[in-house]
């Protein structure tokens, strides 16, 4: 016993002392301390000749404690109500992102000549981002607000998807991938989550409030950690990750409304064990294998960074996050972590993938972890660059689209119908997926059966293919019809039609919104369906079909956006004329003017009047140099100045004293724009 205690203390001392030195050095260099932890792990690991070597088994066990405590404290920030509120958008973004990564990872594996199963594992490895790494980076860079909420919500959904991926890959290692087995696994996961949340809501918040009444911080800390590890153990006993159980525990404790104070109590312990986690990641890096497989590591790292940047930013924007938040979220998620290690370990232990696969996964994780802090810092300039490069018509659409999505979040009479259509669409998509999987599964058997009846090989294949198309076409047609009905229902809720018999002045913006929502639905359903079908169908025809659908919707969106410009220009003319007459009057008194214009020309994002004063930092600068739209998400529809009206100004327009700007966008974006134009500061927090 004494020997084991000495070994444990020795290893802990080695890790913490070396980590202390490296993190101090990195802080002096003004670099993220996470990099110092990884370097410390590389030094004390078994692969680098260094006087101090730690036992990787002991450190790995301690690092798991760090993951549990970190996920528990993240859960403290999310009540069940908040999870349900952001859950739909996060689920769409996570599903699309994971699907894209599986497809790209699969293609990268094929390029290196790996087998279909090895390539599928490569896609799964690059699919899941690291909650631990991102949480630590956000804490260091003091990132909060909407961006933090969105990213952490996506990460939680990703972790749930990772559990299903592990189940699918485990069944794949035992034989052929079974859709029925995957469905049973998803059902068990949903049942587990439902039972734990319902039972936990009845017990945990009351228990925590009773403990807090004792007013003993040490008792609160011990009880909270006990609840955390109890739920982690419960999840492990049912075959799920301890991280999932810890997060659920944190969410249930947060229902007591005292999550912030409990998080403050546990922060030092959490940071200590989180540091050990990053050291354990560094210990897994083998420079020899990195040198041997550098090409695969670089390609998969590029897939992670580029794929997640595109795969998160597009669906995040389509769900209403705005350009800036979408780009920042995508660049924050551009790394892999602990779940990737588990997936790679499953592959190597079952001999589906070669032994070098695990070190390659760890090296990709380490490399993308190194780039994460810089990616997060660069997200602001990158978002501004993307906004500047968009065509002018698309820039206006981007700003107005966010305000339309805000209108969809408001309760309305059509919401019940939209929810019914969503349920029908999900059911139809599930049936379509099942039909595709079953047709692919039994296609060879049907061909053999037909050939046994005297048909030739070519004729048997054609008949089997025609039968498969006949079986799947009704579900595909139903999905397309439901997507159109859902998009129209939502667009009508956000931009209601006028009275019967009168000119529909909201037709142009509603048409653009309908196409955008159809594209969002196609992305949200089509890419996951393609990722599933990819495992059962030939790549070329399947890819061509989905690519053609997205190109068709993209062209329709561009045409509707260009038509929208006429509506916006007409609205800008009315705004400029109205604001020119109101020059010199207090902005607070112009609410009736904006409301009337909103009724006459709907779809302009509830424009707000703002007058530039003499002391404004925006005077004498262009809209492009201010980066108004990129920094805040708001756009300027018109500028009213003495003797002149500027309609839908470009970024090269120079602002002058007493200019009256018509700002459009979400309420949050407009407030951020007002802060920027008046020089009040705090724009970054408002934009996030």
Q: Would you tell me how many other CB atoms lie within 10 Å of the CB of residue 565?
A: 17
Structure confidence by residue, pLDDT tens digits, 500-535: 666 666 778 888 888 888 888 888 888 887 777 666
Q: What does the alpha-carbon distance between residue 132 and residue 130 come to, in Å, rounded to a whole number?
A: 5
Q: What does the alpha-carbon distance between residue 533 and residue 93 come to, in Å, rounded to a whole number?
A: 19
Average pLDDT in the 607-622 region? 82
Structure tokens at 291: 């040198």
The answer to whether 34 and 278 have CB atoms below 8 angstroms apart is yes
Kindly state the helix (H) or strand (E) to which residue 640 belongs, with its residue range.
strand 635-641
**Mean pLDDT over each residue of the chain, to the nearest integer:** 79
Residue 302: what pLDDT? 92
Residue 589: what pLDDT? 46
Percent of the chain with pLDDT over 70: 87
The answer to whether 328 and 96 have CB atoms below 8 angstroms apart is no
Does residue 88 surpass a pLDDT of 60?
A: yes
Q: What does the alpha-carbon distance between residue 182 and residue 184 come to, in Å, rounded to a whole number?
A: 5
The answer to whether 145 and 166 have CB atoms below 8 angstroms apart is no
Q: Give yes or no on whether 56-389 and 570-687 have one common fold.
A: no
Three-class DSSP category at 618: coil
Structure confidence by residue, pLDDT tens digits, 267-287: 888 778 878 877 887 787 778
Q: What does the alpha-carbon distance between residue 95 and residue 553 come to, in Å, rounded to a whole number?
A: 20
Residue 687: what pLDDT? 41
Does residue 222 surpass a pLDDT of 70?
A: yes
Nearest to 423 by CA among 412, 434, 413, 431: 431
Residue 470: Cβ-neighbour burial (10 angstroms; 0-12, 13-18, 19+): exposed
The answer to whether 284 and 297 have CB atoms below 8 angstroms apart is no
Query: What are the distances in angstroms from CA 335 to CA 72, 129, 304?
Result: 21, 5, 6
Q: What does the alpha-carbon distance between residue 218 and residue 222 come to, in Å, rounded to a whole number?
A: 6
Residue 569: what pLDDT? 78
CATH topology of domain 56-389: Na+/H+ antiporter like fold (1.20.1530)
Residue 540: what pLDDT? 67
Domain boundaries, the chain: 56-389, 407-555, 570-687
Question: What does the CA dihedral 214, 217, 218, 219 come to, rounded to 10 degrees?
Answer: 30
The answer to whether 160 and 131 have CB atoms below 8 angstroms apart is no
Three-class DSSP category at 662: strand
Structure confidence by residue, pLDDT tens digits, 245-268: 888 888 888 888 888 788 888 888
Residue 576: what pLDDT? 77
Does residue 482 surpass a pLDDT of 80?
A: yes
The answer to whether 637 and 572 have CB atoms below 8 angstroms apart is yes
Structure confidence by residue, pLDDT tens digits, 145-158: 788 888 888 888 88
Residue 683: what pLDDT? 41
Q: Which CATH superfamily is 570-687 part of?
A: Regulator of K+ conductance, C-terminal domain (3.30.70.1450)
Q: What does the alpha-carbon distance between residue 157 and residue 95 come to, in Å, rounded to a whole number?
A: 8
Q: What does the alpha-carbon distance between residue 508 and residue 603 come to, in Å, rounded to a whole number?
A: 9
Nearest to 266 by CA among 281, 240, 246, 280: 246
Does residue 182 surpass a pLDDT of 70?
A: no
First vs last Cα of the chain: how many Å apart? 52
The answer to whether 408 and 493 have CB atoms below 8 angstroms apart is yes
Q: What does the alpha-carbon distance between residue 312 and residue 684 come to, in Å, rounded to a whole number?
A: 20
Q: Would you tell me how many other CB atoms lie within 10 Å of the CB of residue 583?
A: 14
Structure confidence by residue, pLDDT tens digits, 93-121: 888 899 889 888 888 888 888 887 888 88
Q: In what order do the strands lie in the sheet with 635-641?
A: 608-611, 660-664, 635-641, 644-647
Does residue 561 surpass a pLDDT of 50?
A: yes
Structure confidence by residue, pLDDT tens digits, 25-68: 888 877 767 778 888 888 888 877 777 777 777 777 777 787 78
Hey, what long-range contacts does 445-452 have (CB within 8 A, 24 or more apart)?
A: none
Lowest-confidence region among 90-99, 441-450, 461-470, 586-595? 586-595
Structure confidence by residue, pLDDT tens digits, 297-334: 899 999 999 999 988 998 888 888 878 888 888 998 88
Structure tokens at 587: 């902005």
Residue 686: what pLDDT? 40
Please count the residues of the chain: 688
Does residue 565 surpass a pLDDT of 50?
A: yes
Nearest to 87 by CA among 153, 163, 146: 153
Residue 598: what pLDDT? 60
Q: What does the alpha-carbon distance between residue 489 and residue 439 come to, in Å, rounded to a whole number?
A: 33
Q: Report residue 588's pLDDT band, with 50, 70 and 90 as the boundaries.
A: very low
Residue 66: what pLDDT? 77
Q: What does the alpha-carbon distance between residue 211 and residue 465 come to, in Å, rounded to a whole number?
A: 65
Q: What does the alpha-carbon distance between residue 249 and residue 418 come to, in Å, rounded to a whole number?
A: 33
Residue 304: what pLDDT? 92
Q: What does the alpha-carbon distance between residue 342 and residue 128 come to, in Å, rounded to a whole number?
A: 11
């Amino acid at each position: 016993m004494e020997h084991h205690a000495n070994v444990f203390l020795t290893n802990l001392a080695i890790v913490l002392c070396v980590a202390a030195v490296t993190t101090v050095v990195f802080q002096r260099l003004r670099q993220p301390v996470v990099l110092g932890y990884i370097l410390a792990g590389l030094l004390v690991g078994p692969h680098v000749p260094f006087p101090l070597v730690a036992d990787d088994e002991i450190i790995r066990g301690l690092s798991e404690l760090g993951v549990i405590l970190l996920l528990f404290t993240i859960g403290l920030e999310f009540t069940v109500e908040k999870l349900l509120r952001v859950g739909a958008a996060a689920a769409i973004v996570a599903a699309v992102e994971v699907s894209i990564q599986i497809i790209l990872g699969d293609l990268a594996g094929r390029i290196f000549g790996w087998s279909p199963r090895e390539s599928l594992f490569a896609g799964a490895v690059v699919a899941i981002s690291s909650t631990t790494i991102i949480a630590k980076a956000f804490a260091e860079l003091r990132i909060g607000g909407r961006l933090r909420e969105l990213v952490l919500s996506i990460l939680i959904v990703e972790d749930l998807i990772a559990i299903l991926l592990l189940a699918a890959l485990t069944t794949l290692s035992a034989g052929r991938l079974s859709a029925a087995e995957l469905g049973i696994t998803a059902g068990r996961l949903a049942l587990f989550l439902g039972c734990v949340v319902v039972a936990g809501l009845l017990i945990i918040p009351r228990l925590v409030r009773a403990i807090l009444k004792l007013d003993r911080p040490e008792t609160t800390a011990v009880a909270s950690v006990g609840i955390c590890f109890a739920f982690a153990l419960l999840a492990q006993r049912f075959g799920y990750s301890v991280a999932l159980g810890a997060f659920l525990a944190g969410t249930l404790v947060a229902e007591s409304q005292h999550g912030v104070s409990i998080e403050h109590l546990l922060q030092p312990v959490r940071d200590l064990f989180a540091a050990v986690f990053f050291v354990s990641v560094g210990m897994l890096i083998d420079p020899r294998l990195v040198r041997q497989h550098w090409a695969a590591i670089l390609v998969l790292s590029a897939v992670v960074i580029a794929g997640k940047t595109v795969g998160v930013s597009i669906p995040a924007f389509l769900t209403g996050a705005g350009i800036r938040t979408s780009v920042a979220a995508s660049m924050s998620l551009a790394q892999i972590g602990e779940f990737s290690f588990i997936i790679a370990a499953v592959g190597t232990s079952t001999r589906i993938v070669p032994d070098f696969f695990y070190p390659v996964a760890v090296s990709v994780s380490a490399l993308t972890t190194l780039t994460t802090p810089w990616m997060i810092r660069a997200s602001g300039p990158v978002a501004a660059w993307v906004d500047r490069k968009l065509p002018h018509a698309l820039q206006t659409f981007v700003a107005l689209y966010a305000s339309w999505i805000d209108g969809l979040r408001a309760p309305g009479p059509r919401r019940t119908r939209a929810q019914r259509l969503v349920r029908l669409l999900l059911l139809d998509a599930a049936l379509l997926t099942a039909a595709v999987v079953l047709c692919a599964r039994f296609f060879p058997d049907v061909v053999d059966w037909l050939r046994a009846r005297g048909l030739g090989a070519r004729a048997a294949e054609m008949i089997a293919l025609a039968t498969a198309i006949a079986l799947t076409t009704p579900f595909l047609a139903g999905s397309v019809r439901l997507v159109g009905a859902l998009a129209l229902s939502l667009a009508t809720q956000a931009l209601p039609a006028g009275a019967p018999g009168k000119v529909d002045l909201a037709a142009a913006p509603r048409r653009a919104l309908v196409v955008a929502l159809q594209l969002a639905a196609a992305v949200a359903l089509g890419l996951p369906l393609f990722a599933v079908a990819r495992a059962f169908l030939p790549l070329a025809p399947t890819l061509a079909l989905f690519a053609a659908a997205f190109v068709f919707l993209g062209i329709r969106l561009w045409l509707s956006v260009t038509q929208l410009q006429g509506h916006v220009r007409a609205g800008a003319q009315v705004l400029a004329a109205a604001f020119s007459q109101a020059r010199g009057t207090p902005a607070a008194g112009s609410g009736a003017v904006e409301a009337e214009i909103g009724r006459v020309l709907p779809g302009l994002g509830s424009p707000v009047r703002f007058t530039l004063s003499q002391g404004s930092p925006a005077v004498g600068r262009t809209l492009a140099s201010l980066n108004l739209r990129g920094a805040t998400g708001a756009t300027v529809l018109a500028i009213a100045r003495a003797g002149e009206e500027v309609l839908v100004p470009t970024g090269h327009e120079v602002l002058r004293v007493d200019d009256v700007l018509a700002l459009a966008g979400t309420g949050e974006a407009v407030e951020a724009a007002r802060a920027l134009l008046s020089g009040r500061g705090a724009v970054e927090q408002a934009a996030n």
